[in-house]
Amino acid sequence: MDNLSYLFAAYAIIFAVIFGYVLFIWRRQVALEAELRAMEARMRALTETAGAARKAESRAGS
Amino acid sequence: MNSFVAVLRKDLMLEVRGGQSTVALGALSLLVLVVLVFAFNPGGGEQGAEAAAGALWVALVFSGMLGATRAVSAENENGCIRALLMSPLDRAALYAAKLAAAFIFMTVAEAASIILMVLFFNLEFDARVMRLVPAVLLGALGFAALATLLAGISSRLRGGDLVLPLLAVPMFVPALIAGVKASASALGGAPFGELAVWLKVLVAFDVMFVAAGYLLFEHVAGEE
Amino acid sequence: MNDRAVRLGLGLVTLALMLVALYMVFVYVPTEADQGIVQRIFYFHVPCAWVAFASFALVAIAGIFYLWLGQQVWDDLGYAAAETGMVFCTLVLVTGSIWAKPIWGAWWTWDSRLTTTLILWLLYGGYLMLRAMAGDSEQGARFGAVVGIVAAIDVPIVIVSVRLWRTIHPAVLVTRQGGHGLEDPRMVATLLVSLAAFTALFIWILCLRFVTLRMHTRLGALARTLALAEAAAHD
């Protein structure tokens, strides 16, 4: 390997590793956002059933 | 002060009344030295002195890890640790007691190691061996301080036995360098000036790690 | 989201600085007389080392705040700094190795700087393994903080002792001389710009990682509240 190849190897590895790590973080972010949406859906479901239950109660009570 | 003495006395009495720790540490040191003799096949003279110094410190590190783990987890059986923590015992005093116990175990094992080292590596029982002693004591104190704190962590983790050597070894490197250099100088008959530099490093190491352990142990030994 | 804007902004600043740095390293700066073009590795190798050590200090500082204040945000910061620092520390060792081979003919030399960086790498590794073993628990955060602090105070002593080790015993092995004997002001300028670029890169990546950890923490808390609420609703 002549010296230019060493230089290239060093810089290539730097970029590959940095890029790889950023990619890793990005995938984590995507997964977490999916989890967040799932939770928001559960929360909406909860508030809807709670709202429906309250409406049923007030109708029964009157 | 009282709690420190009480815990230390308890650990030492347990040991004297048929505990196996010092025997185990001594045996481990012996085995490590044997392995290293075969590994390095040392000749006499200066090369022998350097190999001997290195071997001594390897034995110190290995036996120290065992000693610290034992000192720290003495109460883990039978759940005594919970009783200990519920008492109004000062955490820092607990650390000091564990440190002292580990240090004493290590020192006894080191004394045995030094004798074995002289025998195995064809050295002489002369003044040069005595000049080893300060370095070894300082190194044992430093390692005990470090390992007691880390063993507090590793003994509380499932499968934590790997964690102790993994963390203790790199952290101990400065003292290891200084200790081996000081020991090799001592055994090689070098003047005290050469030793002094390395002893200063060891003292600095000890001060920092005893202080750090003293301050941080409460975060390790807290309630689960 | 406000923090999305911050992340984007940091990313753009990083990109800009990196492009300038690359130009300077490959076009602007003159070739060094002794080592030839391989010496240009230096301009990215040194900033990686700066980041690796700075990040370690950050782990320790975050650990101190975590133990003092007990707030999870400090642990999230510390962990992000540890992971990020580990990446850059690995790069220091790899680029240092690649640089050493053509210059000194060996992939590894026990010179004081590489040795110290190796110890740092082992300490990072130990921290991350500890966190992996302790899992997602308060105990893990606490232990991590303790280890981070102890390791950080160890680093100065490591630096001193390794340097003494390498100078008091004149090396039989080849040691790396200077590396900072930069005569040409263009070299100094290139190094400074590269340092700035890598600092920006570090801050950007740290933020990215930190944000994911914060989200993870918040989602954990949210999940617990949700589970309780759902259990209550089913009564």
Statement: residue C83 has pLDDT above 70: yes
pTM (predicted TM-score): 0.89
Kindly list the residues from chain C whose CB atom is less than 8 angstroms away from the CB atom of residue A26.
Answer: 208
Q: How deeply is C195 buried, as exposed, middle or buried, from its count of CB atoms within 10 A (0-12, 13-18, 19+)?
A: middle
Kindly list the partner chains of chain A, i.e. chains with 3 or more CB atom pairs below 8 Å. Answer: C
- 10 Å Cβ neighbour count for A18? 18
Cβ atoms of residues C116 and C165 within 8 Å: no
Residues B169-177 have a mean pLDDT of 95
Cβ atoms of residues B152 and C136 within 8 Å: no
Give the per-residue pLDDT at C170: 44
Helices B192-220 and B127-154 pack at an angle, to 10 degrees, of: 20
Number of domains in chain B: 1
- Predicted confidence band at B223 (pLDDT cuts at 50, 70, 90)? low
The C-alpha atoms of residue A52 and residue A56 are separated, in whole angstroms, by: 6
Q: Provide the token pair at C210.
A: 């930190």
Residue C72 sits at the chain A interface (C-beta within 8 Å)? no
Residue in chain A lying closest to C223 (CA)? A39
Statement: residue C220 has pLDDT above 50: yes
SS3 at position C36: strand
Q: Provide the token pair at C132.
A: 């992996």
Residue C17 phi, psi (nearest 5): -65, -40
From the candidates A19, A25, A47, which should be mutated to test the interface with C, based on the most C CB atoms within 10 A? A25
Cα C208 from chain centre: 14
Q: How deeply is B84 buried, as exposed, middle or buried, from its count of CB atoms within 10 A (0-12, 13-18, 19+)?
A: middle
Nearest to C212 among A18, A28, A46 (CB): A28
Residues C142-159 have a mean pLDDT of 95
Query: Which residues are CB-contacts of B72 (< 8 A; sequence separation ≥ 6)?
Result: B98, B102, B148, B151, B152, B155
CB contact under 8 A, C41 and A6: yes
Give the per-residue pLDDT at B1: 67
Is residue A19 in a domain? Answer: no
Give the per-residue pLDDT at C119: 96
- 10 Å Cβ neighbour count for A1? 10
Q: Provide the token pair at C101.
A: 């081979």
pLDDT digits (tens, 9 = 90+) for B12-45: 777 766 667 778 888 888 998 889 888 887 766 6
CA angle C192, A23, C191 (to 5 degrees): 10
- Predicted confidence band at B152 (pLDDT cuts at 50, 70, 90)? confident
Chains C and A touch (3+ CB pairs under 8 A): yes
B116-to-B33, B53, B64, C89 alpha-carbon distances in Å: 8, 12, 17, 40
The C-alpha atoms of residue B70 and residue B209 are separated, in whole angstroms, by: 19
Range of the domain at B148: 2-220
Range of the domain at A33: 25-62
Nearest to C38 among A3, A33, A35 (CB): A3
- Predicted confidence band at C142 (pLDDT cuts at 50, 70, 90)? very high
Query: Which residues are CB-contacts of B167 (< 8 A; sequence separation ≥ 6)?
Result: B150, C123, C126, C127, C130, C147, C151
Residue in chain C lying closest to A7 (CA)? C38
Per-residue b/e over B130-158, b at no fewer than 16 CB within 10 Å?
ebbeebbbbbbbbbbbbbbbbbbbbbbbe
Q: What is the mean pLDDT of chain B?
A: 84
Give the per-residue pLDDT at B46: 64
| DSSP code string of B53-72 | HHHHHHHHHHHHHHHHHHHH
Residue bearing the bigger pLDDT, C101 or B90: C101
Statement: residue C103 has pLDDT above 70: yes
Lowest mean pLDDT among B33-42, B78-87, C166-175: C166-175
Statement: residue C212 has pLDDT above 80: yes
Give the per-residue pLDDT at C172: 36
Is residue A47 in a domain? Answer: yes
The C-alpha atoms of residue B27 and residue B33 are separated, in whole angstroms, by: 10
Give the per-residue pLDDT at C208: 95
B190-to-B59, B175, B212 alpha-carbon distances in Å: 23, 19, 33
The C-alpha atoms of residue A22 and residue A35 are separated, in whole angstroms, by: 20
Is residue A2 in a domain? Answer: no
Number of domains in chain A: 1
CB contact under 8 A, C87 and A18: yes
From the candidates A2, A3, A26, A36, which should be mutated to test the interface with C, based on the most C CB atoms within 10 A? A3
Residue bearing the bigger pLDDT, B40 or C191: C191
Helices C42-69 and C72-104 pack at an angle, to 10 degrees, of: 160
H/E segment holding residue C68: helix C42-69
Statement: residue C53 has pLDDT above 80: yes
B127-to-B54, B187, B190, C193 alpha-carbon distances in Å: 19, 9, 12, 57
ipTM score assigned to the predicted complex: 0.87
Q: Provide the token pair at C138.
A: 């308060």
Helices C42-69 and C138-168 pack at an angle, to 10 degrees, of: 140
Most confident of B14-18, B78-82, B129-133: B129-133
Q: Which residue has the tokens 């290139």?
A: C190
Distance between the two ends of chain C, CA-based, in angstroms? Answer: 37
Cα B188 from chain centre: 24
pLDDT digits (tens, 9 = 90+) for A1-57: 578 899 999 999 999 999 999 999 999 999 999 999 998 888 888 888 777 777 887
Residue B17 phi, psi (nearest 5): -80, 35
Statement: residue B146 has pLDDT above 80: yes
Determine the distance in angstroms separating the CA of C11 from the nearest CA of chain A, rounded to an integer: 11
Helices B45-73 and B21-40 pack at an angle, to 10 degrees, of: 150
